[in-house]
Amino acid sequence: MSDATQSNAWLENAAGECFAIVGACSLGRAPTNQIVLADQRASRQHAVIRPQAAGQYWLVDLGSRHGTLLNGRRITQPTLILDGDSIGIGSGTLTFRHPILVSPETVANPGLDTAGSDLGLDPCWLLLADIEDATRVLATFPAEDVPTVTGDWLAGCQQVIEESGGEITQVLEDGFLACWPAQADSEQQVAWAVAALKGWQAASELPFRIVLHYGPVYRGGTGTAPGEGSLSGSEVNFVFHMEKLADQLREPRLLSEAAASLLAGQLELTEAGRHPLPGYEGEFGFAKF
């Protein structure tokens, strides 16, 4: 067992034992792994957790026989993990712990976005889209049609994003992360994009939800290709937690308080209550439309 107090991220098993994540953390039955799993259903080299810039962690399955589950769903490509996520390997489950402890005032106050400019932080609009219950929904299509169906969905979303001056920065397993740098007309562009995506939700073969947030993020260099993960920071983690909240609330469209305060005059918004998010202190206000 590792001393998790020496790391800001760790895994916790059902017995309460904690295993620190230091650098790339490998998991499997082989004794050379950082975390050795005494489970015959685990592969010798089963999975790895890789830290990325600004405190992000990604879970990668290493071609294991029985697969790796994240919150009950098998992953097929590198996937961002967040505080409180459940990782299933073999017959066991590990809980990922990475408390961020950001206050509601920090997330809700867009005026803080210039404070980190010397650290490479830029204020951005962040939109996360995710296909609802993707495994079940995609199973209703013939296997040979799935790439076309998902490709058409992504192309429709991408057209809206790019026509409004945004870009898709990360293509995820069942969705994508997009951003718009804060500019003089970005509020109008984002409002148009969100309204257009609402229309695409009604027209698309695939049900999907969208969440929108505004805050300072670390941005990669210009020209970063989609899917390479050019955004990072606590606000990016925040929007991923927002998507999970939207799923719990069964809301197809959810805006953070920071985003809603800037778009209140351009979209017909309704309060969605105040809710806690794992790894963040207090409760946060949200809106829907």
Backbone angles phi, psi at 49, to 5 degrees: -110, 120
* Three-state DSSP state, 74: strand
The domain spanning residue 41 has which CATH number?
Answer: 2.60.200.20
pTM score, whole prediction:
0.67
174 lies in a domain? yes
* Three-state DSSP state, 257: helix
- What is the distance between the alpha carbons of residues 59 and 81, in angstroms, rounded to a whole number? 6
14 lies in a domain? yes
137 & 83 share domain = no
61-80: b (≥16 Cβ within 10 Å) or e: beebebbbbbeebebeebbb
Tens of pLDDT, residue by residue, the chain (289 residues): 444 445 689 999 999 999 999 888 999 999 999 999 999 999 999 999 988 765 778 888 888 889 999 998 888 777 888 888 999 999 999 999 987 655 555 555 544 443 343 345 788 999 999 999 988 999 999 988 888 889 999 999 999 999 999 999 888 878 999 999 998 889 999 999 999 999 999 999 999 999 999 998 876 544 333 334 467 777 888 999 999 999 999 999 999 999 999 999 899 999 999 999 887 888 999 999 9
H-only helix segments in 87-233: 104-108, 134-138, 146-163, 186-203
172 & 218 share domain = yes
Q: What is the pLDDT of residue 117?
A: 39
140 & 245 share domain = yes
112 lies in a domain? no
The domain spanning residue 149 has which CATH number?
Answer: 3.30.70.1230
Q: What is the pLDDT of residue 206?
A: 95
Domain extent for 52: 10-97
159 & 81 share domain = no
Q: Which of these three, 35, 62, 97, is where a domain ends?
A: 97
Question: What is the residue whose two structure tokens read 């778009």?
Answer: 263
Asked if residue 167 lies in contact with residue 179, where contact means CB atoms within 8 angstroms, the answer is yes
56 lies in a domain? yes
47 & 174 share domain = no
Domain count, the chain: 2
109 lies in a domain? no
86 & 126 share domain = no
Q: What is the pLDDT of residue 143?
A: 87
Residue-wise DSSP of 58-113: EEEE-S-SS-EEETTEE-SS-EEE-TT-EEEETTEEEEEE----B-HHHHH-GGGG
Question: For residue 42, which of 83, 81, 84, 94 has the smallest C-alpha distance?
Answer: 94
213 lies in a domain? yes
88 & 159 share domain = no
212 & 82 share domain = no
68 & 198 share domain = no
Q: What is the pLDDT of residue 80?
A: 83
167 & 242 share domain = yes
111 lies in a domain? no
170 & 132 share domain = yes
* Residue 267 C-beta-side C-alpha neighbours within 13 Å: 27
43 & 182 share domain = no
103 lies in a domain? no
